Amino acid sequence: MAKSLRKSNLSSRREPTIALINIVFLMLIFFLIAGTIAAPLDGEIRLVETADLEGATPPDAIVLGPEGRLSFRSEEIDAASYVAGLPEAERTTIRLVPDRAAPAATLVRIGAELRAAGAGSVLIVTERALR
């Protein structure tokens, strides 16, 4: 009788390990399937290289410097006066180019000031790289 008790104790200890292996295996299958849902690029396509292009600010964008100051065409401005000086049709979309070192809190504050001054939407222009 003592032998049968030991066998049942051993089999119950191994069960959580098997369940864990099953869960890990199911997660592996899920991520393998989820990773193949996005269609890959066609093998014939060659992407444009932008390494040699000179980066320039769009002509209608305002720039947020690393110290938190706004400028438009190299002249310091504030958000309210910039939006007030625009024709009504150009107030729908404002482009803002922040410096990489500009504080995030300042960027959020400037965006809110532009919206409060009458900007329809504020687009933040950034550098994008496909790696």
Q: Which residues pair with 62 in a beta bridge?
A: 96
- How far is Cα 95 from Cα 64, in angstroms, rounded to an integer? 11
| Residue range 52-63: mean pLDDT, rounded | 68
Question: What is the signed CA dihedral for 120, 125, 130, 131, rounded to 10 degrees?
Answer: -130
pLDDT 10s digits, 65-109: 888 889 888 889 988 888 988 888 888 889 888 888 888 899 999
Query: Which letter does DSSP use for residue 51 in this model?
Result: T
pLDDT at residue number 131: 45
What integer best gives the mean pLDDT of the chain? 78
Phi first, then psi, for residue 17 (nearest 5°) are -65, -40
pLDDT at residue number 124: 86
- How far is Cα 94 from Cα 115, in angstroms, rounded to an integer? 9
Q: Whole-prediction pTM value?
A: 0.54
pLDDT band at residue 8 using 50, 70 and 90 as cut-offs: low
Asked if residues 95 and 125 have their Cβ atoms less than 8 Å apart, the reply is yes
Helix/strand/coil for 131:
coil
